[in-house]
Structure 1
Amino acid sequence: MRKITMLIVAALIAFSGSVKADEGMWLLPLISKLNVNQMNDMGLKLSAEDIYSINNSSLKDAVVIFGGGCTGELISDKGLILTNHHCGYGNIQALSSVDHNYLKDGFWAKSLEEELPSKGLAVTFLKYMNDVTEKVLEGTTDAMEEGERNKIIAENKKALIEEASKDNKLTITVQSYLEGNQYFIIAYQKYTDVRFVGAPPSSIGKFGFDTDNWMWPRHTGDFSMFRVYADKDGNPAEYSEDNVPLKPVHHLPVSLKGVEMDDFAMTIGFPGSTNRYLTSWGIEERMNIVNDSRIIPRGAKQELWHEAMMADEKTNIQYASKYSRSTNYWKNSIGMNRGLKKLKVIDSKREIEAEFAAWINESDERKELYGSVLSELENAYSKRATNLKAQYYMIECMFRGTEIISLGTKTSRLADALEEGNEEKVSEITNSIKASLEAFYKDYNVNLDQKVFATMLKLYHDYIDAQFYPSFYNDVVAKKYKNDFTAYANVVFKKSVFTSQEKFETFLAKPSLKVLQKDPVYIAAVSAIEKYKEIQGGLTQYNEVEDRNNRLFLKGLMAMNPDKVYYSDANFTMRLSYGKVGNYEPKDAVIYKHFTTLEGVMEKEQPGNYEFEVPAKLKELYETKDYGQYADKDGSLHVCFTTNNDITGGNSGSPVINANGELFGLAFDGNWEAMSGDIAFETELQKCINVDIRYVLFVIDKYAGATNLIEEMTLVK
């Protein structure tokens, strides 16, 4: 295994400059070998130890996983967390009501006592990560069957986790990198007492809403604030009035110096997923199956949601977070397909594959190890296409599409326990379901979901081969309702116990297998689960072929190009990216400046259009130019700016850090012209869109009057 590890290290250390400085999501323990000299040449004043250290305070200690899919940063010595408005959106929505609509009106705690507990929210700190490639791969060979190899790897990982978990309460995981050619053991510490501190109204925090999402120029104050609490000793603890604000190991000083062209910019965060090493067949699959399976169902569902949300304030609050989550990657998928076609990424990949094939044919040893890699990948993608399309459509149309089927799936284990006559298990499962019902029904509109139910099930019927229909399609919808999905939905929602909290709780108080098995929602849910498992079973062998050959493909590419840096794809572990502030040219005769100002907010205002409403207080501050210490040197108030940092989903909320290690922006989006970025980084067009920290402070101070929050920060002028 030493040979594999040395191959990786050699490929990493031999930085040739063939990868531009703005491309790459880098592992922090490796930056001292790979990146710090390049970063210093670009203007960074810090050392690698200042950024990542296990024994001393460093920047990594101020950056957290926020919730389950975003990044946040500590900006005071009292546990104050800054993240994006859209990252806190679900928590803000959960705390909102018609009487206290924090989404519409915003919220600011002027004291610790006014902060609102955010049930279910956690923040997670990275404690350390170490390379354990040799130990994980010990006992494996490339010639092994993938199943046997995976079994050995799983056993090795288990042993490492057990050893690292002794005598501590950290969460330990072993994570794969470089398509399974590299492994790190990672230790995390999670805090579960997190409280809502403040957020602007959506007219600032989501200004532009879906129209401006993924677009530049941007004028969105996309930020929200929370605070992490601990017990008196600084340890994680469940919510208690006795808990105190966490004193973090490190918090970021906040810069008032402003943003200039070519300023050094660094982000640290938790990017979710990229696939930069996909082959041409993998990209075709992503475009034609994965993305299209997201675009079509979500588009239909969102039309129904939007109509209902615009007609009723309560429904708007209930579905605001759901709608935002759905539309975000719906629009991303549309933009990605557009970008991949425009940039001819598939053609570029085929050139790499042709070069790889020629390199293989130069050596019998290479032929033995890599000779079948490309043909096996092409075959696997081809053979799994129909199953994969059915799988993604089932997820989007049933498990994510209609909420009542998703709820119904929770009772499959209950049915098993009832059939077994296991009263203890029945009690355990019913209590677990009951605990989730208040949150579900609080944000559930049964009449709206009935429309979505009929639309989604018909869409699945129209787009997917009959062999992939769940049994209730033929046994019930076709036989009894002649494929009239509206008529079927009318009966389902009339008869089911799942349609209201009262009916479902009455059932759970005395659960009956007979009642459950006759319930039309349960029938549909269980039928969908069974068909999903069947579809998944048809994918397993091809998924294993893909995993094995993607690993060998990347291993071969690194051997073919030993002087080139290969960074690992994003996998929601801490990464660093670096670049510079800058503008870009999206098309002929058009140049986008690297920043926007409050003047642009006023230019975009459309009274009566919720996406572009401007609060009266903000207009007043604009008219009087009352910007205080947050104005730029030219007197304007900057709102957003762009850099060429490499980010993706999960980086939302990442701090944008200047050359001195100070916070000067908050990453929140990418640009429409480079939506192909998860597959292929576009060096000329790809931009990271950030909120200027001075606009954040201006809103907190001048707009909201929450000077208590400003006072606890470390401001640098």
Structure 2
Amino acid sequence: MAALSAATMLGTAAPAIAAEGMWLPSQAPSIAADLRKEGIQIDPALLANPKAAPLNAIASLGGCSASFVSPEGLVVTNHHCVYGSVQYNSKPGQDYLTDGFLAPSLADEVPGAPGTRIFVIEDLRDVTSAMTRGLTDRMSGLARYERIEANRKALIAECEKQASRRCDVRAYYGGATYFLQQQLEIKDVRLVYAPASAIGNYGGEVDNWQWPRHTGDWGFYRAYVAKDGSSAPYSKDNVPYRPKSFLKIAKQGLNDGDFVMVAGFPGVTYRHRTAEEAKFNFETYFPAFQKFLSDYSDTIVRATAGDRGATIKYASALRSADNYKKNTAGQLAGAEAIGLAGRKAAEEQAYRAWIAADPARQADYGAAAAALDRIVAEANAQELVDLRKSALNRAQLLLAARTAYRWAKEREKPDAGRDAGYQDRDRAQTVERLTQIERRFDPRVDRIILEQALGEYALIPADKRDAAFEAKLKEIGLDRLYADSKLGDTATRLAWLDKPAAAFEASDDPFIRLAVAMWPGDVAARNAARDLEGRDQQARAEYMKGMLAYAESQGRAIAPDANGSLRFTYGKVTGKARDGMSWSPFTTLQGIVEKDTGREPFNAPAKQLAAIKAKDYGSYAAPALGTVPVNYLSTVDTTGGNSGSATLNAQGEFVGLLFDGTIEGVISNWAFDPVITRSIHVDSRYMLWNMEKVDGADRLLTEMGVK
């Protein structure tokens, strides 16, 4: 087995490829020369330390990125990232989704939706040796998975002996390397400000993933802690958190060609997947997934039509489904546009030819490549089955029952032996998820959604379906399922988290009975998936070690695929030429007026339109444009999870928020193409202009040092 040092695997031995890469802080030294060449003016060494500014001002919301922008714990992120909290606090007659929300004072800031968290980065350290302790090549896949999980839990438990820390261990390069990410978990998160949807979601789904764009995609939370500075649940006595650093708002805005950098927590990319994995996803899985999302979205729209209360309850679910649907369509189009299948096949052929050209390399990596091919074929066969089974969890009371019963079964084990997500450290988040249902659930709508999900489930081959579930559902019937269940009541639902498994097995609640019937099939499915995951880690880790050695032989460094951990990326503000048209790098206020129809999704607020027509730009106009810029394009390499990421200029100052990409560029999840890939940012000047001229958020402008 060939040995690669952690430094080599993280790219410190070779120069970087310009533009591409979501880089770990520890990789900053290897790309310092390119950062300077591209125009950074702070010391690149600062980016190597997540404990120091500017990276320690970057935060995670557990799905979106964010950043501190004041010494009083004020956090800025995207409008669509605070949308769930806006929805949760809305109701007929108090429609913050439509009207927006602005707290006049600290006392008026309202709690975010249950489960809202701010995670403050504290450390990101290599734990590869601890994670691979006890692994042997002779282990079964399941045994390997269980050993890795045991090692992971031990590391997390040790890390979380520190109060209010949330720790996780993530795999890089297919499990060739592991890092532990340590974050302070702030539990009291309050909604401070979100503009009206006619600003924050201007253009709606029509403009989503499109250019030109005129969307004010920003919102603000505030982090609160106990008076002694410790993380604590919501209390009226809590005080604003004081971060170790916060981002300075740039006095000077950006121009075409300027250096920009984005820091955040990108979700998942698949650039190091095999050619066969890419082929299956784009020929089979994504077309099915697109229809899967479209049918779900259509079901929500149909079920909530004419009912404003239900529409508010399901607004967040609908927006998420529509966003993923459009993203998937873009990836399908992008794969064809760049010839992804041929590109991946050629890259893989060159790598495997390099392996075959040397007996030592063949001995080191050849068996892993062959094993990985077999595992990929096995995994592909299961993907569509798992997708269609997942539709059942759209029925919120069924998911609640399954979650509670699994907690009961897991509590029969010692805490360290429980599955991830069902340990004592996870209980509070589970309670909050189950609590959220009360404002995101309507029994009539839920039943319609379940009926549609059962149609998806029926597409699974009979031998892959759960006969016990089907028999129990037939016995109960949909009418009794909803009429007889008490899980729609929050107190009743939460109480089940403390009951033993025997209480579930004796229950006459129909959703509980379904959950119990599904348990044996769920256990079997999990064990099969874990065995596959263990075998995949063994083969893929060796395969990726070979790929890193191959890249190093060519003088290249490669960033690991995104996995939700802290990364930074950099590029330039620039437009793009397309056949028959040219995309300028900035849009402006005038485009809002040109698009406006007075009807959703192009219904800008009257006060905003008046300020634009009066050319009341204040100090926020860009000299080169003669007006206020709204959104801009850049070449930074980003993906989902980067939403809400701070955009920094060459001096490390805040100049906007990353919120989207163009539809042609979403294929970069699989293959980065600098010609077509563009990220979309909301310009800080547009954000600040609205805050002053439209929404009157002077309190926040003063706090951020703008006024």
Distance in 2, matches of 1:612 and 1:196, equals 25
The answer to whether residue 226 in structure 2 is matched with residue 231 in structure 1 is yes
Distance in 2, matches of 1:16 and 1:445, equals 55
Distance in 2, matches of 1:243 and 1:503, equals 29
Structure-to-structure mapping, 1:213-362, within 5 angstroms: 213-288=208-283, 290-362=285-357
Q: Which residue of 2 aligns with 1:484?
A: none
Is the CA contact (8 Å cut-off) linking 1:4 and 1:181 kept in structure 2?
A: no
Alignment CA distance shift 1:78-1:513 (3 Å): closer
Is the CA contact (8 Å cut-off) linking 2:355 and 2:361 kept in structure 1?
A: yes
Which of 605, 609, 621 is equivalent to 1:615? 605
Is the CA contact (8 Å cut-off) linking 1:95 and 1:102 kept in structure 2?
A: yes
Is the CA contact (8 Å cut-off) linking 2:266 and 2:562 kept in structure 1?
A: yes
Q: Which residue of 1 aligns with 2:689?
A: 698
Q: Which residue of 1 aligns with 2:421?
A: none
Alignment CA distance shift 1:35-1:204 (3 Å): same
Q: CA deviation at 1:274?
A: 1.0
Alignment CA distance shift 1:516-1:456 (3 Å): farther
Structure-to-structure mapping, 1:510-525, within 5 angstroms: 518-525=508-515
Q: Which residue of 1 aligns with 2:565?
A: 573
The answer to whether residue 631 in structure 2 is matched with residue 635 in structure 1 is no
Distance in 2, matches of 1:432 and 1:701, equals 36
Q: Which residue of 1 aligns with 2:419?
A: none
Alignment CA distance shift 1:474-1:691 (3 Å): closer
The answer to whether residue 548 in structure 2 is matched with residue 544 in structure 1 is no
Is the CA contact (8 Å cut-off) linking 1:63 and 1:269 kept in structure 2?
A: yes
The answer to whether residue 42 in structure 2 is matched with residue 23 in structure 1 is no
Which of 168, 174, 177 is equivalent to 1:182? 177
Residue-by-residue CA offset, 1:320-348 (whole Å, 9 max, x unaligned): 11111222222212221221233221211
Q: CA deviation at 1:583?
A: 0.5
Q: Which residue of 1 aligns with 2:37?
A: 41
Give 2:181's aligned amino acid: I
Q: Which residue of 1 aligns with 2:94?
A: 100
**3-state DSSP of counterpart to 2:574:** coil
Alignment CA distance shift 1:74-1:339 (3 Å): same
Alignment CA distance shift 1:372-1:638 (3 Å): same
Give 1:402's aligned amino acid: A
Q: Which residue of 2 aligns with 1:485?
A: none
Q: Which residue of 2 aligns with 1:553?
A: 543
Give 2:582's aligned amino acid: I
Distance in 2, matches of 1:103 and 1:665, equals 23
Q: Which residue of 1 aligns with 2:657?
A: 666
Is the CA contact (8 Å cut-off) linking 1:412 and 1:526 kept in structure 2?
A: yes
Q: CA deviation at 1:2?
A: 10
Is the CA contact (8 Å cut-off) linking 2:24 and 2:567 kept in structure 1?
A: yes
Give 1:406's aligned amino acid: L
Is the CA contact (8 Å cut-off) linking 1:495 and 1:519 kept in structure 2?
A: yes
Residue-by-residue CA offset, 1:547-596 (whole Å, 9 max, x unaligned): 222222211112223121011111111101000000013x4222211111
Distance in 2, matches of 1:518 and 1:133, equals 48
Q: Which residue of 2 aligns with 1:425?
A: none
Q: Which residue of 2 aligns with 1:14?
A: 13
Is the CA contact (8 Å cut-off) linking 2:186 and 2:232 kept in structure 1?
A: yes
Q: CA deviation at 1:289?
A: 5.2
Is the CA contact (8 Å cut-off) linking 1:290 and 1:392 kept in structure 2?
A: no
Give 2:396's aligned amino acid: E
Structure-to-structure mapping, 1:434-583, within 5 angstroms: 439-461=436-458, 463-471=459-467, 475=471, 488-498=477-487, 518-562=508-552, 563-583=555-575
Q: Which residue of 2 aligns with 1:4?
A: 4
Deviates more, 1:72-81 or 1:116-125: 116-125
The answer to whether residue 70 in structure 2 is matched with residue 76 in structure 1 is yes
Is the CA contact (8 Å cut-off) linking 2:505 and 2:513 kept in structure 1?
A: no
Distance in 2, matches of 1:69 and 1:382, equals 30
Is the CA contact (8 Å cut-off) linking 1:415 and 1:516 kept in structure 2?
A: no
Alignment CA distance shift 1:510-1:524 (3 Å): closer
Distance in 2, matches of 1:158 and 1:412, equals 22
Is the CA contact (8 Å cut-off) linking 2:392 and 2:453 kept in structure 1?
A: yes
Q: Which residue of 1 aligns with 2:672?
A: 681
The answer to whether residue 395 in structure 2 is matched with residue 402 in structure 1 is yes
The answer to whether residue 52 in structure 2 is matched with residue 60 in structure 1 is no
Is the CA contact (8 Å cut-off) linking 1:653 and 1:666 kept in structure 2?
A: yes
Is the CA contact (8 Å cut-off) linking 2:435 and 2:494 kept in structure 1?
A: no
Identical columns (%): 29
Q: CA deviation at 1:632?
A: 1.8
Deviates more, 1:574-583 or 1:336-345: 336-345
Give 2:107's aligned amino acid: E
Is the CA contact (8 Å cut-off) linking 2:12 and 2:27 kept in structure 1?
A: no
Q: Which residue of 2 aligns with 1:584?
A: 576
Q: Which residue of 2 aligns with 1:424?
A: none
**3-state DSSP of counterpart to 2:234:** coil
**3-state DSSP of counterpart to 1:617:** helix
Distance in 1, matches of 2:13 and 2:442, equals 57
Give 2:533's aligned amino acid: N
The answer to whether residue 602 in structure 2 is matched with residue 606 in structure 1 is no
Q: CA deviation at 1:9?
A: 1.9
Deviates more, 1:112-121 or 1:170-179: 170-179
Is the CA contact (8 Å cut-off) linking 2:596 and 2:603 kept in structure 1?
A: yes
Distance in 1, matches of 2:156 and 2:488, equals 43
Q: Which residue of 2 aligns with 1:423?
A: none
Give 1:492's aligned amino acid: L
Give 2:351's aligned amino acid: F
Distance in 2, matches of 1:50 and 1:22, equals 19
Distance in 2, matches of 1:418 and 1:662, equals 48
Q: CA deviation at 1:384?
A: 3.5
Deviates more, 1:434-443 or 1:502-511: 502-511
Q: CA deviation at 1:378?
A: 2.6
Alignment CA distance shift 1:271-1:436 (3 Å): closer
Q: Which residue of 1 aligns with 2:418?
A: none
What's the C-alpha RMSD, in Å, of the aligned pairs?
3.4
Distance in 2, matches of 1:553 and 1:341, equals 27
Pairs aligned (count): 691
For structure 2, which runs of at least 5 residues remain unmatched after alignment?
413-423
**3-state DSSP of counterpart to 2:619:** helix
Alignment CA distance shift 1:502-1:225 (3 Å): closer
Residue-by-residue CA offset, 1:395-452 (whole Å, 9 max, x unaligned): 1x201x3223213324535887999xxxxxxxx9999999866531322121122222
Q: CA deviation at 1:490?
A: 4.0
Give 2:670's aligned amino acid: I
Alignment CA distance shift 1:101-1:36 (3 Å): same
Structure-to-structure mapping, 1:116-195, within 5 angstroms: 116-118=110-112, 119-137=114-132, 153=148, 157=152, 170-195=165-190
Is the CA contact (8 Å cut-off) linking 1:60 and 1:268 kept in structure 2?
A: yes
Is the CA contact (8 Å cut-off) linking 2:19 and 2:637 kept in structure 1?
A: yes
Alignment CA distance shift 1:97-1:543 (3 Å): same
Distance in 2, matches of 1:322 and 1:215, equals 21
Alignment CA distance shift 1:669-1:430 (3 Å): closer
Alignment CA distance shift 1:23-1:434 (3 Å): closer
Alignment CA distance shift 1:506-1:268 (3 Å): closer
Residue-by-residue CA offset, 1:445-498 (whole Å, 9 max, x unaligned): 21122222212202221x2101122225653677x89xxxxxx53453344444
Give 1:616's aligned amino acid: A
Q: CA deviation at 1:4?
A: 2.1
Alignment CA distance shift 1:175-1:493 (3 Å): closer
Alignment CA distance shift 1:259-1:282 (3 Å): same
Deviates more, 1:382-391 or 1:570-579: 382-391
Alignment CA distance shift 1:142-1:603 (3 Å): farther
Q: CA deviation at 1:212?
A: 1.7
For structure 1, which runs of at least 5 residues remain unmatched after alignment?
420-427, 482-487
